[in-house]
Amino acid sequence: MARAVSTNRKITVTVIAWSIGFLIFFPILWTILTSFKTEAEAIASPPSFLFFEWTTENYGIVMERSNYFLHFMNSVVISVGSTLIGLLIAVPAAWSMAFVPGKNTKNVLMWMLSTKMLPPVGVLIPIYLIFKNVGLLDTRTGLVIVLTLINLPIIIWMLYTYFKEIPVDILEAARMDGANLRNEIIYILTPMAVPGIASTMLLNIILAWNEAFWTLNLTAANAAPLTAFIASYSSPEGLFYAKLSAASTMAIAPILIMGWFSQKQLVRGLTFGAVK
């Protein structure tokens, strides 16, 4: 029998959860509010929270100074493209690790995950030189390749945990009915793991969208995504906080909206297999 939870405990937990959520969201809220201030109000001390002269001038200046839609399309192509290519590679890899008997599966998974511990700056120079020599510098293709390789260990690891929750008997029954490897993965395994695949895809789009180190170092103008768009508002003369906040708001708005509308799918996928 489930233990009853008192009303006071529910209220306490709810208040704590909302407080933590507000603290996490507050920097984003402050950035959005600052984007509607003048530069003088943005650096005023003490700062004003809501009671200030609201203006949309910063957004107009940002749109005039920068090609926002080019940066936006670069971010979409790079994040979605690297995620889709990563899934095409990760689904068969995770299937083999989850359902093909082997003694070194966990060691391979740990090795792949350990590659995320390598500081990116340690391989920046060789990758930069390779991209420069083969003509991939400042191209969408180059960034798609880099972000695919960076996020591939996470994609494989997440899909492996989802696939392990699928009963092996179902796959064996499909094999007995004559399904080959391709049909098994496409028509049996993939539909059953849709929640896990969807959450993996959403999470990796967010990771690729927010990637700054590689996008700033491997692009200049043509393939620069929204992370480079934000960085362009840091100048030797100083930081223009209001304009920087407007650029940041325009950069994070698409991913915030996507995350808001897909939060149920994301939570469902992340908890896939947790309760049987």
Convert the pLDDT of each residue in 198-212 to its tens digit. 888 988 998 899 898
Q: Round the average pLDDT of the chain to a whole number and report it.
A: 84
Q: Which residues pair with 239 in a beta bridge?
A: 234
Model pLDDT, residue 80? 94
Under 8 Å between Cβ of 86 and 151:
yes
Task: Look at residue 276 in the predicted model and tell me its pLDDT.
Answer: 45
Q: So what's the pLDDT on residue 8?
A: 82
Closest CA to 251 of 226, 228, 223: 226
pLDDT for residue 261: 79
Three-class SS state of 235 = strand
Span 11-45, pLDDT tens digits: 888 999 999 989 988 999 999 999 999 888 888 88
Three-class SS state of 269: helix
Find out if CATH 3.10.180.10 is the number for domain 66-232: no
| Range with the poorest average pLDDT among 98-107, 119-128, 141-150 | 98-107
Contact between residue 71 and residue 228 where contact means Cβ atoms under 8 Å apart? yes
Q: Are 249 and 32 in contact (CB under 8 A)?
A: yes
Residue from 152, 149, 166, 155 nearest 199 by CA? 155
Strands 234-235 and 238-239, by their bridges, are antiparallel
Is 76 a residue whose pLDDT tops 60? yes
Residues 31 and 20: beta-carbon distance below 8 Å: no
Q: Helix or strand or coil: residue 4?
A: coil
| Region 76-92 average pLDDT | 93
Instruction: Give tens-digit pLDDT for 194-247.
Output: 888 888 898 899 889 989 899 989 998 888 999 888 887 766 545 688 888 898
Q: Given pLDDT bands bounded at 50, 70 and 90, which one contains residue 140?
A: very high
pLDDT of 1 reads: 46
Q: At what angle do helices 241-261 and 57-65 cross, to 10 degrees?
A: 90
Measured CA distances, 55 to 40, 230, 242 (Å): 12, 20, 10
Domain boundaries defined on the chain = 66-232
The one-letter code for the residue type at 160 is Y
Long-range contacts of 38-46 (CB under 8 A, 24+ apart): 38/242, 39/240, 39/241, 39/242, 39/243, 41/242, 42/241, 42/242, 42/245, 43/241
Query: What distance in Å separates the CA atoms of residue 157 and residue 167, rounded to the nearest whole number?
Result: 18
Tell the residue number behind the tokens 């390598």, with chain if given.
118
